[in-house]
Copies of this chain bind each other. A is one copy, B any other.
Amino acid sequence: MSDNGPVQVRCPVLNVRRVDAYYAITVVAPGIAERFRSGQFVSVAVGGDHSSTLLRRPFAIHDVKPDYGGTVEFLFSVRGTGTAWLSERRSRDLLDVVGPLGRPFPLPREPVNCVLVGGGSGSAPLFPLAQSLRRRGCRVDFVLGGASADRVFSAITARRIAETAAFTTDDGSFGTRGRVTDVLGRVIEECRSDAVYACGPMPMLRAVTAVAGSHGVPVQVAVEETMACGTGICMTCVIPVVGEDGITRMVRSCVDGPVFRGEQVRFDDVGTIPFDALGAPGWKGSSAARAAESARDIA
């Protein structure tokens, strides 16, 4: 219905590749490919028409290519019923895919130095981002982490497209033993990074935001909250985020995110309704604040 909004398509699977502990599925979906900007995701129906598994699964878009009018690739590791089903798809099977969804990563206007930090499957959206950044003349460095070597997504690609790439694993099976934040500070210093982009589990994003903050570098984080709809109508994916106006709101990570400025996410309060959030129990915004609210919402 709209030209830059998401579309819903039944698209053929071009191929399913297995890479270490994860899978890469490429589908032919020109409508999604042409609208895509890095940081956006797709949501995929799983289990077939008579599945007891109703909800779509969200996956960051890892790559789009012009082949066949436009292909879209996403990476995933098998976690539960939905990803297990997806891992069994074969070429030519049809997938019902909605996308591209969500706010993309904002790109710097100047050719600055960017460090891209990914944890586990959170690395996926950083690859198209790296390419966009490099097209703008930015320097790109990677810090990728995972539980073990086979959980670090696309390490080889990272090495190829970035100036430097550092890896960490919890078990030390690849790169430095430890977490991405154990090396991030050093990378920011050595690479003179001007901006950090991060995607991964909430605790990692919180730690990355803290490290970036202590180095005085702005950070954009892409969150992975559970999502029932991915399109903004169910209100199940909310997290507390501070607006430009200093007011905390429970915002939808699917359409208001998944990308947020790290400093604006109230990581300590994720999973709660902060007492000072707009509309929290007992909250009474001044009438001025409320007037501002409706003006903002209308704008």
Contacts and interface: CB of A to CB of B under 8 A. Distances in A.
Interface of A: 47-48, 50-53, 81, 85
A47 B49 CA distance: 10
A51 B51 CA distance: 5
Nearest to A81: B50
Number of copies: 2
A216 B51 CA distance: 51
Contacts of A53: 50
A266 to B, nearest CB: 36
Contact of A85 (B47, B50, B52, B81): B50
A84 to B, nearest CB: 9
Contacts of A50: 47, 51-53, 81, 85
Residue from A47, A50, A53 whose CB has the most chain B CB atoms within 10 Å: A50
A128 B85 CA distance: 38
Nearest to A52: B52
5 contacts: A50-B51, A50-B53, A50-B85, A51-B51, A52-B52
A51 to B, nearest CB: 6
Pairs of residues from A and B, 7 with the lowest C-beta to C-beta distance, nearest first: A52-B52, A50-B81, A50-B52, A50-B53, A47-B50, A50-B51, A51-B52
